[in-house]
């Protein structure tokens, strides 16, 4: 069996809205985010991890680096695990009514078929990337993989694990609005199962956003 720990990064300046400028991939951890990273690193040191893979986003890399120091494992960066990609035109813009309107117009394309806002990811693109991410994890030789990623992308992966080819935009919309995430929460999926009634060649979900280490 292969076990994957999907971990949301620590709190960033994009999460607490402390930056007046949209930072996207460059957003850094806050002081709280750094504390959360240390707590998940302490927990990770007690898990049977073989490798750490992270999104290339700065907040994810920062989180992964703290886990690396705690576990002694090197960090591998993969763009497969980045967050729902915003249009490049958002980068460096000041938060305000105009950017918020554009942001919500882009986000709506995650919940419909065939629509795209500028060069941002829509449902089909992020779904296909999540399919590739699961394939990447399946083909890795390691049995226990720790992945630092993002809240929205975790929902896409979970949607595929639960619904497989039947996963649709409306399902993602429901997951986005019903599954609560906390920074550094752990979502666990497993390829195979110790239950003989379950398929040995399918992904199964064990845990959603377990954040007990935060107290």
Instruction: Give the residue-averaged pLDDT of 44-57.
Output: 98
The set of residues, in sequence order, having a beta carbon less than 8 Å from that of 31 and lying 6+ positions away, is none
Instruction: Give the residue-averaged pLDDT of 168-186.
Output: 97
Counting Cβ atoms within 10 Å, is residue 215 exposed (0-12), middle (13-18) or buried (19+)? exposed
Identify the top-confidence range among 23-27, 39-43, 190-194, 195-199. 39-43
Where does the pLDDT of residue 197 fall: very low under 50, low under 70, confident under 90, or very high at 90 and above?
confident
Where does the pLDDT of residue 104 fall: very low under 50, low under 70, confident under 90, or very high at 90 and above?
very high
| CATH assignment, 2-18+27-84+121-214 | 3.40.50.1240
Where does the pLDDT of residue 144 fall: very low under 50, low under 70, confident under 90, or very high at 90 and above?
very high
pLDDT of 196 reads: 81
- What CA–CA distance (Å, rounded) separates 163 from 44? 29
**pLDDT per residue over 56-79, tens digit each?**
999 999 999 999 999 999 999 999
pLDDT of 200 reads: 80
pLDDT of 194 reads: 80
- What CA–CA distance (Å, rounded) separates 207 from 67? 20
Q: What DSSP state is assigned to residue 156?
A: H
Within 13 Å and on the Cβ side, how many CA atoms surround 206?
17
Please report, for the chain, the start and end positions of each structural domain, with discontinuous segments joined by +.
2-18+27-84+121-214
What's the whole-number average pLDDT of the chain? 96
Instruction: Give the residue-averaged pLDDT of 69-96.
Output: 97
pLDDT of 19 reads: 86
- What CA–CA distance (Å, rounded) separates 48 from 64? 16
pLDDT of 198 reads: 80
pLDDT at 10 over 90: yes
- Where are any strands of DSSP class E within the chain? 2-8, 51-54, 75-77, 144-149, 186-191, 203-210
Instruction: Give the residue-averaged pLDDT of 114-126.
Output: 97
């Amino acid at each position: 069996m292969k076990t994957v720990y999907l971990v949301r990064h620590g709190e960033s300046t994009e999460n607490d809205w402390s930056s007046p400028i949209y930072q996207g991939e460059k957003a850094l951890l806050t002081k709280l985010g750094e504390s959360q990273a240390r707590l998940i690193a302490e927990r990770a040191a007690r898990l049977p991890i073989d490798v750490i893979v992270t999104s290339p986003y700065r907040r994810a890399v920062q989180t992964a680096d703290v886990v690396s120091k705690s576990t002694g494992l090197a960090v591998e960066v993969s763009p497969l695990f980045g967050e729902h990609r915003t249009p490049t035109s958002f980068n460096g813009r000041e938060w305000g009514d105009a950017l918020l309107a554009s942001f919500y117009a882009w986000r709506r394309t995650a919940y419909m078929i065939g629509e795209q806002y500028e060069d941002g990811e829509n449902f089909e693109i992020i779904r296909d990337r999540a399919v590739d991410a699961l394939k990447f994890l399946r083909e890795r030789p390691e049995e226990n993989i720790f992945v630092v990623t993002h809240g929205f992308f975790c929902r896409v992966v979970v949607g595929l694990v639960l619904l497989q080819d039947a996963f649709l935009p409306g399902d993602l919309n429901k997951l986005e609005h019903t599954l609560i995430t906390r920074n550094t929460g752990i979502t666990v999926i497993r390829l195979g199962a110790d239950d003989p009634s379950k398929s040995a060649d399918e992904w199964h979900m064990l845990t959603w956003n377990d954040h007990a280490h935060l107290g």
